[in-house]
Structures are given as C-alpha cells and as structure tokens.
C-alpha cells in the first residue's frame, strides 16, 4: 500500500526549494529605497557640479581632449621611468604633473605651457581630476584593512596611535612658529595648527601596499604588521581631518554645529541604512549576472553621491567617498571586481590630478632662504617623528631593531594620500600655495626614500617572516 502510494505520488518525497519569506521582499524594497534616496540626494549636487563639463563649446573641447591625452601620456611616461628606477609609479606621475605646470615647463617655455593648458581649460581638467580622486579615495576606503584592525592586538594599537600622535604633536609645535608667516588671513589659528599637525601624521596606505608587494613583504609578518599599523593610523588621521575641516569651514564655534550635525546624520544613515542595503544588493548580485552589472553601477553612483553630499555639507568631497568605501562589504566578488575595473580607470586618469596640482604650484615660492630652511625643517621633522616614534614603540613591544626600523620606514611613506589631503587644504583655503609646495616636497622625499630603505634593511630575510600579525600580540 505504501509502495503504491509512493508510485502514485513520486514527487512527495522530493526536496522543494525554500519559499521566499514575505519579510525578504520588504527588506529588499527597503534596501532599494535607501539606495535610491542616497543616490538622489547626491545627484542633486553632483549633476550641476560635473554638468559644467557639458558647457564647453567645440573650440574648447578641441583643446581639452589633446590636453587630457598629453597629460595622461606624460604621466604614464613618468610612471614608467619611476618603475625602472625601482620607485612607485605614483612618484613619476607626480613629477610629470609638476613638470607640466609653471614650475618647469612654464619656466622654460611659458608660451607653450599657456598654449597647451590655457587658463579657461584648468577648471574643466580639475573636474575630471576631482572624479579621479573621489574614486581613488572610495577604493582606499574599501581597501582599508579593517579585518587586520579587529584582531591585531595591543602592539598594532600602540604603533598606530604613536605614529599619529607624535608627528601630530611635532607638527603642531612647528606650525606655532610658522603661523605668523604662513597662515592665511582667512583661517583661524586653531584650524591651521590642527590641519598642519594632521597633515604631518598621514601615511599612504595604497602606495605602501604597492611598495611592500614590490619587495615581497605583503605575506610576511612584518609586512602585515606594517599594513595594520598604517590602517590604524589612517583611520585616526581621517577622523581628525574631518573635525579639522569642519572647524575651518565655520567662522565660529556655533557655525560648526550645523555642519557637525549634518555630518553625524549622514554618517549614521551610511552605517545603519546604506551599509545593510548594499550588503543585501551585492549578496543577490553574486548569482545574478544582470543584477551584477546593475550593482556595479550602483556602487559607482553611491561613491559619487557620498562625495557630493559631504561637499554640500561643507566638509570635503573626499570624506563622503571614503565613508562609502569603508561601508562596502569587502568579501563580495562584485566589490573585488570593482577594485580592478574602476581602479584601472582611476589609474589611467590619475595623472590629471597631479597635473592640476602642478598647475597650482610655483617652485618659486621656495626661492628665499627662509622658505628653503622651513621646507627642510618640515622634512626633517616629518621623517624623524614618524620613523623615530614607530621604531621606538616597535622595540618596546619586543620587535628587533631591524623590524622596528622597517616599520618606521613603512609608515613614513606619505604618497598620494598626503597630496589628496593637502590639496583639499589648499582648495579650502586652510593653507596657502607656499605651504602647499612645502608639503608636496615633503611628500616626494618621504615617499621616494621608502623603497630603497626597505631594500637596504632586507626585512624579507627575517626568520619569523611568515608569522601572522595576531601571533605576536
């Protein structure tokens, strides 16, 4: 009888797929609403800003396109030369961008420099450069080693705090003596001092990754420790920078309150609403090719929208892009693919950012003996405070002297991240062009020295080279 029943109903023992719960549909709808709301709010500000590119007439477009092509070609050439000299590509791109500006090309052939890059072209080049930096910072946020920070222990915490706090304090003291000469009249003393100190404490995490990979140190314990330390320092520095910029944008303490309130609201929405919404969307996109393409576009729009919202708030576009990058779920394959596709595009147009920096630089600011001495002092303070503090803390936490010095050299790398920060300070009027040039010089020196010193220290030859970070807490 039972056998007959089974024959008559062959599907009764089959496993049926789980039915979608009604709550899933509600959560999916809520995720869509959150994403659409964030993107819409950002586009209200972003479309008029970047829509200015569409106002170029054909005569300007015909000059714009060759200028972009020339900048990218020269930047790529500079990057190639840097790699042949065993330096990060970004060093060559920085030098190429500066060379196209008034500091070099403008000195020897001003007519050619103005013909290639007329003044009316610079704002449009700046918009493209701003897009490049927005997505660079977005990918930086997505690449911050948060998983290392969770399990890295007391040593990384001590190293991260030390390599930020001491350079910050040294920069603060240095800025006190420089404020009378180099502080812009429109900026209060406290924001100027805090911005100076914060800028001295920056570490370039993305450039450091590339340098460590070139020296085969990524998978070693000292390399992982260096990345974790840089990650802690970057989180602290970016948080400090947000506060400093908010203070600088307000004319008084009361004026900062609305900016801080809007920033807190946006951060709360991003962490509590946008993050789970993106996680739900990207989880569904893992197994759906069509949704995968849509989710890629959504991430690109969310990064731009986050940047536009914080720019509207009065902070800076880079902070919104960074925050959106931080909340993106790293374990998702769509995000990993985005890092390759968008990152490749960012690398192509990034020379535009260096060129725009070069257009705003005048090495002539360093012609006086005082400027040269101040610039040299900044470089010495930047190096000794970072390398010295990290080396000492590393030794106190029972690393060898060579490992401790290696960590100090790693976190002394400032690279592109420092340029993004000081360019933001220049655009907001917190620092002037003279101090900006000094920060750029300091960035170049500290970044160039990182690779050769790591090679000299030969950290990859340590016996404990493959131990994980958490094992020596």
Q: What mean pLDDT comes out for the span 413-440? A: 87
Compute the half-sphere exposure of residue 182: CA atoms within 13 Å on the CB side of its CA: 26
- Which H, E and C letters describe 32-54, residue by residue? HHHHHHHHHHHHHHHHHHHHHHH
Confidence label for 1 from pLDDT (cuts 50, 70 and 90): very low
Query: How far apart, in whole angstroms, are the C-alpha atoms of residue 238 and residue 287?
Result: 35
Number of domains forming the structure of the chain: 1
Q: Which ranges in 397-428 belong to alpha helices (H)?
A: 401-411, 415-427
Give the pLDDT of residue 276: 92
Residue 114 has pLDDT above 50, yes or no: yes
- Model confidence band, residue 19 (pLDDT cutoffs 50, 70, 90): low
Alpha carbon distance 206, 188 (integer Å): 32
* CA–CA separation, 448 and 415 (whole Å): 9
Confidence band for 376, pLDDT divided at 50, 70 and 90:
very high
pLDDT at 455 over 80: yes
If one counts every other C-beta atom within 10 angstroms of the C-beta of residue 181, the result is: 12
Q: Give the integer Cα–Cα distance in Å for 207 and 137.
A: 13
Instruction: State which residues form the domain around 80.
Output: 56-461
Q: Quick check: is 225 in a domain?
A: yes
pLDDT digits (tens, 9 = 90+) for 241-275: 877 877 776 655 566 677 778 888 998 999 999 99
Cα atoms in the 13 Å half-sphere on the side-chain side of 70: 16
Comparison of pLDDT for 427 and 9, the residue scoring more: 427
Q: What angle do CA 269, 271, 277 make, to 5 degrees?
A: 80
Per the domain annotation, does 83 fall within a domain?
Answer: yes
Average pLDDT, the chain: 81
Which CATH number goes with the domain that contains 183? 1.20.1530.20
| Confidence check: pLDDT of 70 > 90 | yes
| CA separation for the pair 171, 166 (Å, rounded) | 8
pLDDT for residue 237 is more than 90: no
Q: Counting Cβ atoms within 10 Å, is residue 221 exposed (0-12), middle (13-18) or buried (19+)?
A: buried
pLDDT tens digits for range 133-176: 888 888 878 876 666 555 556 777 788 888 889 999 999 999 99
Distances (CA, A) of 158 to 172, 402, 408: 21, 18, 13
pLDDT at 470 over 50: no
Across 234-250, b (16+ Cβ under 10 Å) vs e yields bbbbbebbbbbbbbbbb
The reply to whether 46 falls in a domain is no
pLDDT top residue among 291 and 269: 269
Residue (of 144, 289, 286) closest to 227 by Cα position: 144
DSSP for 80-94? HHHHHTTS-HHHHHH
Q: Residue 468 — φ and ψ, nearest 5°?
A: -70, 165
pLDDT digits (tens, 9 = 90+) for 210-226: 788 777 787 677 887 88
Between 235 and 178, the more confident residue is: 178
- Assign 3-class secondary structure to 368-388: CHHHHHHHHHHHHHHHHHHHH
pLDDT at 186: 83
For 371, phi then psi, to 5°, come to: -65, -40
Tell me the CB-side half-sphere exposure of residue 402, using CA atoms within 13 A.
12
Closest to 172 (Cα-Cα) out of 410, 385, 340: 385
Smallest Cα–Cα separation from 184: which of 430, 374, 365? 430
Angle at which helices 415-427 and 89-99 cross, to 10°: 40
* pLDDT band at residue 293 using 50, 70 and 90 as cut-offs: confident
Report the distance separating Cα 259 and Cα 312, nearest Å: 10
Q: Considering the domain boundaries, does residue 91 fall inside one?
A: yes
Whether 380 is in a domain gets the answer: yes
Average the pLDDT over each of 148-152, 358-362, 409-413 and give the range with the smallest value. Answer: 148-152
Whole-model pTM: value is 0.74
Question: Do the domain assignments include residue 31?
Answer: no
pLDDT of residue 464: 41
pLDDT of residue 57: 78
Whether residue 472 is contained in a domain is answered as no
> Does residue 24 lie within any of the structural domains?
no
More confident call, 331 vs 100: 100
* pLDDT (0 to 100) of residue 445: 92
């Amino acid at each position: 009888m039972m056998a007959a029943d089974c024959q008559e109903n062959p599907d009764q023992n089959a496993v049926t797929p789980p039915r979608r719960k009604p709550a899933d549909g509600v959560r999916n709808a809520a995720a869509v609403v959150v994403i659409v709301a964030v993107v819409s709010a950002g586009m209200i500000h972003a479309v008029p800003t970047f829509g200015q590119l569409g106002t170029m007439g054909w005569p300007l477009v015909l000059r714009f396109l060759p200028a972009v092509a020339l900048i990218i070609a020269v930047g790529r050439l500079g990057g190639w030369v840097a790699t042949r000299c065993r330096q990060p590509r970004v060093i060559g791109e920085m030098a190429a961008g500066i060379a196209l500006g008034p500091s070099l090309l403008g000195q020897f052939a001003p007519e050619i420099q103005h013909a290639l890059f007329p003044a009316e072209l610079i704002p449009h080049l700046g918009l493209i450069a701003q897009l490049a930096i927005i997505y660079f910072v977005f990918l930086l946020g997505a690449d911050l080693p948060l998983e290392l920070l969770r399990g890295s222990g007391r040593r990384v915490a001590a190293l991260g705090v030390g390599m930020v706090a001491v350079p910050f304090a040294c920069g603060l003291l240095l800025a006190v003596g420089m404020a009378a000469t180099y502080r812009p009249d429109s900026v209060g003393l406290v924001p100027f001092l805090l911005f100076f100190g914060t800028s001295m404490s920056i570490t370039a995490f993305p450039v450091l990754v590339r340098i460590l990979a070139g020296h085969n140190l990524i998978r070693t314990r000292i390399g992982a420790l260096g990345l974790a330390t840089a990650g802690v320092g970057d989180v602290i520095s970016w948080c400090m920078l947000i506060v400093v910029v908010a203070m600088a944008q307000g004319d008084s303490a009361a004026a900062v309150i609305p900016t801080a309130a809007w920033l807190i609201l946006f951060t709360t929405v991003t962490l509590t609403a946008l993050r789970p919404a993106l996680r739900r969307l990207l989880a569904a996109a893992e197994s759906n090719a069509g949704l995968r393409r849509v989710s890629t576009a959504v991430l690109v729009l969310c990064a731009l929208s986050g940047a536009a919202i914080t720019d509207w708030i009065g902070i800076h576009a880079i902070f919104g892009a960074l925050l959106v990058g931080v909340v993106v779920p790293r374990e998702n394959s769509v995000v990993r693919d985005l890092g390759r596709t968008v990152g490749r595009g960012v690398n192509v147009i990034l020379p535009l950012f260096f060129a725009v920096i070069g257009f705003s630089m005048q090495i002539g600011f360093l012609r006086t003996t005082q400027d040269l001495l101040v610039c040299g002092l900044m470089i010495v303070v930047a190096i000794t405070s970072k390398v010295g503090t990290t080396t000492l803390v590393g030794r106190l936490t029972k690393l060898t002297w060579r490992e401790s010095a290696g960590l100090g050299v790693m976190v002394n790398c400032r690279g592109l991240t420092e340029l993004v920060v000081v360019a933001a300070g220049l655009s907001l009027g917190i620092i002037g062009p003279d101090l900006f040039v000094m920060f750029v010089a300091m960035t170049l020196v500290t970044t160039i020295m990182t690779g050769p010193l790591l090679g000299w220290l030969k950290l990859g030859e340590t016996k404990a080279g493959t131990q994980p970070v958490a094992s020596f807490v």
